[in-house]
């Protein structure tokens, strides 16, 4: 079914603590938060590995993929909004850190994290994706990225193929300054809205997460930005018409360097 174009998109960021390796508790927590905003938003963004916390301890998490997909389908239908976030998937004898984008009609698209965080051994336990994914929803083109991807401007380069960059993350508090800076930099250099959702709290290995989830406009101005370490659910309406008007007036995209990217 073809969707009719829209100029506005209501984007909701949900920042929260995660229960370590406890999919049922995490799903129950998010279901409650999502139910509270049913019918009031178009896209709901959850963090990276929102069912377990970021982990390389894959044993016991193999079955997360299919059940989590079905749960997201149900939540999207009940809320009337697309829901996105990542979880562990078993793929081709290995595992992927897979970001799902699930619509209220049950359409499921996915992106497998391309840049694996070697400092935590992610590259030893997961298979890297090799495809850059832009989804089309409510007239918007949306680039999907996961955590460490945000550090790579070539991968995130806007080839005039997206309007909104989504980044789901478990980004430790020790590197909160790069997280915040990179979200704004990606928005400015790509003339696109950028939304990043991070978790808070301590994980099972004692790592601290500060959140700092943000929605940034195409000029780098924060539209959603809360103090660190707080749980929140917030929605902001972004405008495709305003974006198009700015791109028309400030045509930096016309002077972008030409190159080819190899994954």
Whether 48 is a known active-site residue: answer: yes
Look-up of token digits 């390389």: 56
Bridge partner list, 83: 44, 102
Q: Select which of 48, 73, 122, 156 is catalytic.
A: 48
Q: What is the pLDDT of residues 140-197, one digit of tens each?
A: 999 999 999 999 999 999 999 999 999 999 999 999 999 999 999 999 999 999 999 9
The arrangement of secondary structure in 8-251, i.e. its CATH architecture, is 4-Layer Sandwich (3.60)
Alpha-carbon distance of 146 to 86, in angstroms, equals: 8
pTM comes to: 0.95
Q: Select which of 27, 73, 113, 156 is catalytic.
A: 113
Written as six digits, the tokens of 192 are 């696109």
Confidence class for position 62, pLDDT limits 50, 70, 90: low
- Specify whether the CB–CB gap between 228 and 212 falls below 8 A: yes
Q: What is the pLDDT of residues 243-262, one digit of tens each?
A: 999 999 999 999 999 888 88
Whether 2 is a known active-site residue: answer: no
The alpha-helical segments, DSSP class H, found in the chain are 23-35, 65-79, 122-125, 153-156, 176-190, 240-249
Q: Select which of 27, 147, 156, 167 is catalytic.
A: 147
Alpha-carbon distance of 92 to 104, in angstroms, equals: 28
In total, the chain counts a number of residues equal to 263
At a CB cut-off of 8 Å and minimum separation 6, what does 185 contact?
153, 220
Whether 156 is a known active-site residue: answer: no
């Amino acid at each position: 079914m073809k969707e009719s174009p829209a100029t506005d998109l209501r984007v909701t960021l949900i920042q929260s603590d995660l229960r370590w390796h406890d999919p049922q508790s995490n799903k129950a927590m998010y279901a409650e938060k999502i139910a509270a905003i049913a019918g009031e938003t178009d896209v709901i963004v959850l963090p990276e590995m929102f069912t377990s916390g970021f982990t390389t301890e894959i044993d016991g998490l193999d079955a997360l993929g299919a059940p989590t997909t079905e749960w997201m389908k149900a939540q999207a239908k009940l809320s009337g909004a697309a829901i996105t976030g990542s979880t562990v998937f078993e793929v081709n004898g290995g595992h992927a850190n897979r970001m799902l984008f699930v619509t209220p009609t049950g359409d499921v698209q996915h992106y497998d994290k391309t840049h694996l965080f070697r400092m935590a051994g992610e590259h030893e336990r997961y298979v890297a994706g090799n495809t850059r994914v832009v989804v089309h929803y409510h007239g918007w083109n949306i680039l999907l990225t996961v955590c460490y991807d945000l550090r790579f401007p070539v991968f995130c380069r806007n080839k005039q193929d997206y309007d909104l960059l989504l980044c789901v993350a478990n980004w430790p508090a020790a590197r909160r300054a790069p997280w915040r800076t990179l979200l704004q930099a990606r928005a400015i250099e790509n003339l696109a809205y950028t939304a990043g959702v991070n978790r808070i709290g301590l994980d099972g290995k004692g790592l601290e997460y500060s959140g700092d989830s943000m929605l940034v406009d195409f000029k780098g101005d924060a539209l959603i930005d809360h103090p660190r370490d707080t749980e929140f659910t917030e929605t902001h309406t972004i405008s495709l018409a305003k974006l198009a008007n700015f791109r028309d007036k400030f045509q930096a995209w016309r002077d972008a360097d030409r190159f080819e990217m190899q994954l």
